[in-house]
Structure 1
Amino acid sequence: MPKDLNHDSLITFLHFEDLNPLDKAEAIVKEIVKTTALEIEEIPTVLGTVLKRIERDGKTKELADLVTATTEEQQRGLDSLGVQGKERELVLVLLELGLNPGSVKANLLPMLSLATDLKTAIRQKGLKGAHALALAALSAKSLSISEQRATKERIAITQQVLELDLTVPQTRKLVAEIKMKFSKSVAQSPTTSLTARMQVATQQLKRKKIWEDPQKRERLELLLSELEKLIGS
């Protein structure tokens, strides 16, 4: 447990310890937004920027050592690391909660962008965070299939991981095998590959700002329709 926590932070820290990694990540982000001037969408960028600079300066260990330091030592340590402004506010919140900023970036913040099926498995079936991050590699893009099919594949493999109580390395190995299987399947079926790539491209396109323009969207839909006819012919 970190030193010199105030009463409110101590309660928050103890509460975090009982959470699954997804809820823990959400609670940490909520705490950061509550106690700093940062918006939710800024947090990954600000944290990534300060960590990259500290790593470049070869001071990663110095930052990690501040996790168990007193508040005064943390303040002096951040001064020596040149951490100021929003970066300092963010890092101080994490340190006060006894969290290594590097670990938060690598293991907790990625929880927030997991697919819905993996988030459900974490909350309802006890899937571990590291396993979820490994399974997240089974995406529509990486498998060259539709989102619907990718979700179905992930759910089935997630259940297998849970039933067999696989370790993280075993899970990663299984994921690699599945990706290899789909890669071979795509190579053997060019038409299916084109269709899958078309579906993925369409889904990505619909998330772009250009899709919000009615005239451009109409032209794009006509183009997509023509491409689908060509693939199917």
Structure 2
Amino acid sequence: MATQCKSLSESVPELFERQLTTAATKVPAAAVVPLELIYLPRQKHRRYFDPHQLDALIHSVQEQGILEPLLVRPIGSNHYELVAGERRLKAAIAVGLKEVPVRIRELSESEALELALVENLQREDLNPVEETEGILQLIALEQGLTQDEVVSGLYRMYNQLKGNVNSVNPNVRVRDFEGYVQTVFKSLGRMSWESFVKNRLPLLKLPGDILEALRVGQIEYTKALALAKVKDQASRQGLLAEAIAKSLSLSQIRKRVKALQSPPGPGRFVDRIDATYKRLKKSKVWEDLKKREKLESLLAQIEELISLE
């Protein structure tokens, strides 16, 4: 567990600045390093970057270069691991830079992880999935818990608040956890911990296709929650594709979800048969011998079903 962030009164931005100024430096604090010597960390915290914002940064780097140094830590001989600044690194690679300015800090793996999480959570363009995962990772790191334990602790706090469970006198560890949770959300200033439990934690239970679309910014999280109510995978994927292609509003998505969840009545089924029959009469499918044979086989099955009435 990291030991640098024990004060519950310390804000997340203050933590970031203090980590930078108090970390022991056995190498020069600032330098220009060849790109080929900088490696990405094994545990990446961002998997999606808004292409428009990245293009804007690339244009800026072309015009002005890298204005803010990347943060790295030394690993091995003359090699470095990126701690903060992956967008700047991508932009530097895109414009063909050979070297970039960096701030070098001697950091342990846990300290580097903490700094990367904190820096990431201060970004304005972080999508809801990565923000949710980042907050859970930060709390888990600071409290020495697994992410599943953090989620359980958050639900316990929420249920106690709503009176769904009997309140008991918490021990010191529980009080520390609850106090740290409240401080993190107050410091981030994005949402309350209650809103996080109610609206964000459910995102992690979304079907994989919905979660990925949300992660890469194709849909908003309110639309993702609505789409997830469609349990049939094929129907859900079809509606997801339509929602993305047509930029459907939340109300439009909810109407389509409701229609998919409603069992088709006899009238609707008959209308569907009638519409299919009209299309079939106008179709050139009869000109294809193989398709015609298949249609004749299907028609025979329908006739057999009718004869059994």
Q: Which interval holds the TM-score relative to the shorter structure?
A: 0.5 to 0.7
Q: Is the 8 A contact 2:121 2:131 kept in 1?
A: no
Q: Is the 8 A contact 2:214 2:224 kept in 1?
A: yes
State the alpha-carbon separation in 2 of the partners of residues 12 and 124 from structure 1.
Answer: 16
TM normalised by structure 1 equals 0.55
By how many angstroms is 1:118 displaced?
0.8
Q: C-alpha root-mean-square deviation of aligned residues, in Å?
A: 2.8
By how many angstroms is 1:41 displaced?
0.9
Detail structure 1 runs of 4+ shifted over 4 Å in the superposition. none
By how many angstroms is 1:7 displaced?
4.4
Structure 2 partner of 1:24: 131
- Aligned identity (percent) is 24
Structure 2 partner of 1:14: 122
Structure 2 partner of 1:174: 256
Residue of structure 2 aligned with 1:105, choices 180, 197, 201 = 197
Structure 2 partner of 1:89: 180
TM normalised by structure 2 equals 0.42
1:50-91 CA distances to partner (integer Å, 9 max, x unpaired)?
12322349xxxxxxxxxxxxxxxxxxxxxxxxx823222333
Q: Is the 8 A contact 2:203 2:221 kept in 1?
A: yes
1:11-42 CA distances to partner (integer Å, 9 max, x unpaired)?
34322x31111111111111111112332112
Question: Secondary structure, in 3 states, of the residue corresponding to 1:137?
Answer: coil
Larger helix share, 1 or 2? 1
By how many angstroms is 1:132 displaced?
0.7
Larger strand share, 1 or 2? 2
Residue of structure 2 aligned with 1:37, choices 140, 144, 150 = 144
Q: 1:40 and 1:125, CA in 2 relative to 1: closer, same or farther beyond 3 A?
A: closer
- The one-letter code sitting in structure 1 at the alignment partner of 2:185 is L
- The one-letter code sitting in structure 2 at the alignment partner of 1:103 is S
Question: Secondary structure, in 3 states, of the residue corresponding to 1:49?
Answer: helix
Q: Is the 8 A contact 2:127 2:217 kept in 1?
A: no
- The one-letter code sitting in structure 2 at the alignment partner of 1:161 is A
Q: 1:136 and 1:53, CA in 2 relative to 1: closer, same or farther beyond 3 A?
A: same
Q: Is the 8 A contact 2:181 2:193 kept in 1?
A: no
Query: What is the count of residue pairs matched by the alignment?
Result: 147
Question: Secondary structure, in 3 states, of the residue corresponding to 1:181?
Answer: coil
Unpaired runs of at least 5, structure 1 = 58-82, 140-149, 189-233
State the alpha-carbon separation in 1 of the partners of residues 187 and 245 from structure 2.
Answer: 38
